[in-house]
Amino acid sequence: MYPLVAVLQHLAAAQNLQLTNDVLYIGRAASVEEKIASEWNIPFAGIQVGGIRSKGALTQARNVSHMAQAARTAGAAIEHFKPNIVLATGGYVSAPVLWAAWRKKIPIVIELPDLEPGWAIQTTWHLSKQIAVSFDEALKFFARGRATVTGYPVRAEFFQATREQGYAHFHLAEKFPTVTLFGGSQGAHALNEAVRMNLRELLRMTQLIHICGTNDQPQLEAERAALETEFAARYHVYDYLNEAMPLALAAADVVVARAGAATLGEFPAVGVPSILVPGLFAQGHQTKNADFMTTRGAAIKLSEGNLADAFVSTLLKLLDDPARLKTMRAAAKNLARPDATERVSALLFEYAH
């Protein structure tokens, strides 16, 4: 959702777009994206939808039925709102919205944040007027002339956040290096467990900003409550961060994270080195994202299977190598595209009716 928010943020500033009146967000009901839309005062229409790939036969049948109903619900929302254009990002949630918009002859622009399209975009991109891709490497998946390299749209705050602001916001101590850890909007249990099992060892030498998701937060909060006062003061745990996320990245000497699409845009915008632990799902796109960042010198890839043995040693070794951190920081920054929101916005104006 955040690439779309970044584009809307740019349009609100540059074109006086009114988020409360001129935008409708259609997404999965009772989800993190609904919560984020509420925080940004963006009207939200919820649909019930589930994934299809890598599911059992009964789940697939149920979710196909949900897709059909979701397309009808999205169609009704589109009919009522009467948009000039639909901007969609990747993921199975977008598929019924795209089908509904196409049937109602609403122009569509797709923003592809990942290096490769997932099944939803593979099966629906031909319904769109144009696909905005983040990197040249994604052009090969689409017919000539149907995709434009725009870069990954990132909220302006990621380019503006400073280390000093991050340290002040989270009440961090200057004498300890800072590690920010997160596993995406839902959290990552394997990463959370690696932190929990090594918490005291990590806190002897670092301070942690840990965005853990909702499922593991109670246990991690209990772990924090059991820490000595000195250690507890250096362990900052949250279920998720919205407006403060740029500050959490800007404060970090190293980020440890999954390798979702945001990795390709937000980490370069801040210029932060990372250790990436890709999840083995969704056609392995996170592994491709991690490889992209690693081969460009901006990240280290660590497999989930090696977390127990190599997590702490890999992290501490990197923190103890200022020269490498400086090189990785520059490599990450080199991947940033500050004009991406402007480029995607231009496509919307080009194709809107």
Over residues 136-143, mean pLDDT = 96
β-pair partners for 236: 209
Q: Assign 185 a pLDDT band (cuts: 50, 70, 90).
A: low
Q: Residue 199 has what pLDDT?
A: 97
Q: How buried is 302 (Cβ within 10 angstroms: 0-12 exposed, 13-18 middle, 19+ buried)?
A: buried
Q: Residue 177 has what pLDDT?
A: 98
Q: How many domains does the chain have?
A: 2
Q: Residue 242 has what pLDDT?
A: 86
* pLDDT of 235 over the 80 cut: yes
250/294 same-domain check: yes
Residue of 262, 240, 245 whose CA lies nearest to 91: 262
Lowest mean pLDDT among 183-187, 212-216, 271-275, 319-323: 183-187
For residues 297 and 273, the answer to whether their CB atoms sit within 8 Å is: no
29/118 same-domain check: yes
Over residues 93-103, mean pLDDT = 94
Q: Assign 56 a pLDDT band (cuts: 50, 70, 90).
A: low
Q: What confidence tens digit (pLDDT) does each residue in 244-265 have? A: 999 999 999 999 999 998 899 9
260/310 same-domain check: yes
Lowest mean pLDDT among 54-58, 96-100, 339-343: 54-58
Domain residues for the domain of 64 are: 2-154+338-351
141/181 same-domain check: no
Over residues 282-305, mean pLDDT = 90
Q: Assign 279 a pLDDT band (cuts: 50, 70, 90).
A: confident
43/105 same-domain check: yes
42/169 same-domain check: no
Q: Residue 62 has what pLDDT?
A: 57
39/146 same-domain check: yes
Q: Could you tell me how many residues make up the chain? A: 353
95/241 same-domain check: no
Average pLDDT, the chain: 92
195/240 same-domain check: yes
Model pTM?
Answer: 0.90
150/268 same-domain check: no
For residues 54 and 280, which has the higher predicted lDDT (pLDDT)? 280
For residues 7 and 345, the answer to whether their CB atoms sit within 8 Å is: yes
* Dist CA 90 CA 119 (whole Å): 9
Q: Assign 51 a pLDDT band (cuts: 50, 70, 90).
A: low
56/73 same-domain check: yes
* pLDDT of 53 over the 60 cut: no
196/238 same-domain check: yes
Domain of residue 118, CATH code: 3.40.50.2000
* Dist CA 249 CA 247 (whole Å): 5
What residue type is assigned to position 215 of the chain?
Answer: N
Of all helices (H) and strands (E), which one includes residue 257?
A: strand 254-257
Over residues 169-179, mean pLDDT = 97
Over residues 232-249, mean pLDDT = 95
Residue 321, SS3 per DSSP = coil
Place of tokens 């017919």: 143
